[in-house]
């Protein structure tokens, strides 16, 4: 029997597999075992992980990160006001 575990953190995500009494963290396409929880959009593509994190300076208006930190917060000033105040 096998089991899969997923960690969705505020700043990173990873996946582990438990099989035959052993657990192992799955590497992403770059070979890293932890992937930054960042998504960036452009006109013709969506970029995730490390590539999105590295491009956030050039594409800040189309980059989403730390979304879990605004979930459940008061919407008096709007979710983007709080998020952007931490980066500007």
Number of compact structural domains in the chain: 1
Tokens of 57: 């300076």
> Quick check: 36 and 47 in contact, CB under 8 A?
no
Please name the residue that has the structure tokens 């590295």.
54
Strands 63-65 and 35-36: unpaired
Residue range 43-85, pLDDT digits in tens: 899 988 898 888 888 888 888 887 777 666 665 655 555 555 5
Residue 60's domain comprises: 3-68
**pLDDT tens profile 48-57:** 889 888 888 8
Q: Are 7 and 14 in contact (CB under 8 A)?
A: yes
Question: Would the pLDDT of 87 be above 60?
Answer: no
d(CA 52, CA 18): 29
User: What percent of the chain clears pLDDT 90, i.e. is strictly above it?
Assistant: 27
* pLDDT over 90 (residue 4): yes
Q: What are phi and psi of 77, to 5 degrees?
A: -105, 0
CA nearest to 47, candidates 38, 58, 34, 57: 38
CATH number, residue 20: 3.30.420.40
Q: Is 32 contained in some domain?
A: yes
Report if residue 21 sits inside a domain.
yes
Determine, yes or no, domain membership for 55.
Answer: yes
């Amino acid at each position: 029997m096998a089991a899969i575990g997923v960690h969705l953190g505020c700043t990173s995500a990873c996946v582990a597999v438990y099989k035959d009494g052993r657990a192992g963290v799955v590497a992403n396409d770059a070979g890293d075992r932890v992937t930054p929880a960042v998504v960036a959009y452009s006109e013709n593509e969506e970029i995730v992980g490390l590539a999105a994190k590295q491009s956030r300076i050039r594409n800040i208006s189309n980059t989403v990160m730390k979304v879990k930190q605004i979930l459940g917060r008061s919407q008096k000033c709007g979710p983007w006001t709080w998020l952007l105040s931490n980066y500007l």
